[in-house]
């Protein structure tokens, strides 16, 4: 019996391409890293604006929800309910936070024993809520503002870099939210 044993070898073109393969050179890697750093920097700058927009929007939503809660609780409970700034500052009335509470005795101040329905923590200094002149929004048992008169609260970035919002509360207690253009420094 004549058996020939053939060695298995790779075809010539495959063996040649494996032999010729190499990694990145230092210059190629540095050029790639430079492009990556530039693109990351551009994305981070764009992301900063997006994060700021989201914070302003979230603040507007939370304040509008607190106003709606105060109005509905006043009508439901049949007593005045107040939204007040917890730590008002000049030029940023609600930036230090706010609270919604039941004014059981109708004296306009939070007394011990009066229930607090909602507390909101202080906001970052980059967000301005209100101009500091309005620090209290009170609703009558019928859900109307007291004292009667429209209330306007603007929410915007302290530097005016992104658009903000304007919450207008009518004497009947209904609130409306409108956009405020960017670069309206701050909340004018």
Q: Residue 159 belongs to what domain range?
A: 55-180
93: in domain: yes
Domain count of the fold of the chain: 1
Residue for token digits 């706010």? 98
Q: Which residue in 126, 135, 133 sits closest to 98, CA to CA?
A: 135
Cβ neighbours around 95 below 10 Å, total: 24
87/35 Cα distance (integer angstroms): 47
121/81 Cα distance (integer angstroms): 19
83: in domain: yes
4: in domain: no
40: in domain: no
- Segment 15-68, tens digit of pLDDT: 555 555 678 889 989 999 999 999 988 888 778 888 888 999 999 999 999 999
168: in domain: yes
42: in domain: no
CATH number at residue 74: 3.55.40.10
Alpha helices in 92-185 (DSSP H): none
126: in domain: yes
The whole model's pTM is what?
A: 0.75
45: in domain: no
- Segment 55-107, tens digit of pLDDT: 999 999 999 999 999 999 999 999 999 999 998 888 889 999 999 999 999 89
């Amino acid at each position: 019996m004549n058996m020939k044993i053939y060695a298995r070898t790779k075809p010539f073109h495959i063996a040649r391409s494996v032999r010729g393969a190499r990694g990145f050179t230092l210059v190629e890697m540095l050029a790639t890293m430079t492009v990556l750093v530039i693109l990351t920097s551009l994305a981070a700058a764009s992301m900063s604006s997006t994060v700021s927009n989201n914070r302003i929007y979230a603040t507007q939503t939370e304040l509008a929800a607190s106003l709606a809660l105060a109005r509905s609780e006043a009508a439901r409970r049949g007593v005045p309910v107040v939204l007040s700034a917890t730590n008002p500052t000049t030029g940023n009335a609600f930036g230090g936070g706010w609270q919604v509470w039941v004014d059981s005795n109708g004296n306009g101040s939070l007394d011990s024993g009066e229930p607090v329905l909602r507390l909101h923590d202080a906001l970052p200094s980059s967000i301005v809520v209100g101009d500091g002149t309005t620090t209290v929004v009170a609703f009558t048992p019928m859900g109307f503002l007291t004292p009667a008169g429209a209330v306007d609260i603007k929410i915007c970035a302290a530097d005016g870099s992104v658009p903000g919002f304007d919450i207008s509360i009518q004497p009947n207690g209904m609130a409306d939210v409108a956009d405020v253009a960017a670069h309206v420094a701050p909340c004018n």
